[in-house]
Structure 1
């Protein structure tokens, strides 16, 4: 048996150690939380904080245009003495929707392009192929007529001349011989008419033959 005063002294000492330990644990939890809650970066952005993507879009975004095309398609005609083809029962039986007039139908398509020289737009050849009318939409809302002056279906590239006077926002053409696998690739376009849509990727391969993909 220990004397009563020794037991009280040990109990007091244990309580002090327990208090110091719990205090240390509490401080260890709360203090990092206070540090983490502080912003590590100034939320106010300036020119030096902008990413290379933002800078590229600001530099070239205004040169990106929308390409709208119209193509007139003649309707299939039948001899005037072939009235059976115009019989509603014939159409219903075969599920046909035959034309009742000689007016051509209009097929519309849309794509993107960019101005790289005074009044010259580069776009995809498949966008303007066979079109009877081309409209170029600028980022400022203006729409101008365009004329296809060249197409290369192997590279799927076409050139359009804008019918109007500039000045035009232009994007400089790069040097494809300097591209390396793994380089960043930024695409700015107007898919479905959504202006200045930006996507980011990388150059995955060079000089690849599209026939490898069955195209």
Structure 2
């Protein structure tokens, strides 16, 4: 009885897998990352504490302005005979947002300033997805969607401002590790081994709770463009 059951299971697995193929690819991504919501800011001020060894910091580092971001990820996906897709993508990304600096405030100093602060989050990203291959002749065109888990390792601000004719620079770790949960859409077009990709991630986690100095909600968003190589 046992050999018969194993044989039946083998035939079923073969039937399910018949006509399917597995594709492996590497992706080099870039794009613009920023925050939205009532707690995100287009501009902010730099506060200079008068207590040593506290360092200057941006009052609200969660910028509405897009910052150049980049990442390297790997992907594995299955393509069924009816051109359905499912798979997972995982890799490392540096997600950078910007906020303009308008003023520097210290104990006995208040002066206008220009420049910006960049908040850079080092992130491990995992993205399970499903979708459909809409075309598969000369060019394979894929449209997919799914949840995205951004495991933020740390977030560091880099202040680059000018005040009273002098450069003002500082950097601080502003964010500890946390999970940023997002929804994500992707489009990809492949010609033989090479492809171009585009995507949009919309954060569902309120990042406001991971820093001081802001009041409200700050949700991440990332516009991606990239190149892919399919094995």
- Greater CA radius of gyration, 1 or 2? 1
* Fold-level similarity (TM above 0.5): no
Normalised TM-score (structure 1): 0.25
Could you say which structure has the higher helix fraction? 1
Normalised TM-score (structure 2): 0.24
Could you say which structure has the higher strand fraction? 2
